Amino acid sequence: MKDAIFTIIHQALIEVNATRKEKIDLQNIETLALYGTTGVFDSMQLVSFLAAVEEGLDDELDIEISLTSEKAVSQTVSPFSSVACLIDFIIAEQQVPQLASA
């Protein structure tokens, strides 16, 4: 599953690069800082990127997840500090039993 999630994130980064004047270096993607002082995205760009990742996860892996949820943004270690952290967050969220809707 980790490889499939990585591929979806990589594809979203390629799509983002197609629209950016200043390209993101995709050589060491897992350590790429997404947001924060050394991050490649400002807040609006991050939300757009996360929406693309969410769409890819739903389309390719049938994973429905909100990467902009309160849970995501309130983590001690931000899932946006690196691609590896984002992957770990997505995997962890899939292992947590979801409450059934009433």
pLDDT of residue 76: 85
Domain ranges of the chain: 2-91
Nearest to 38 by CA among 66, 79, 80, 77: 80
Burial annotation 16-38 (CB, 10 A radius, 16+ → b, else e): beeeeeeebeeeebeebbbbeee
pLDDT, one tens digit for every residue, the chain (102 residues): 899 999 999 999 999 999 999 999 999 999 999 998 999 999 999 999 999 999 999 999 999 999 999 988 888 889 999 999 999 999 999 876 655 444
Q: How far apart are CA 94 and CA 65, in angstroms?
A: 9
What is the radius of gyration, based on Cα positions, of the chain?
Answer: 13
Structure token digits, residue 18 = 């197609």
88 alpha-carbon distance from chain centroid = 10
- Report pTM: 0.88
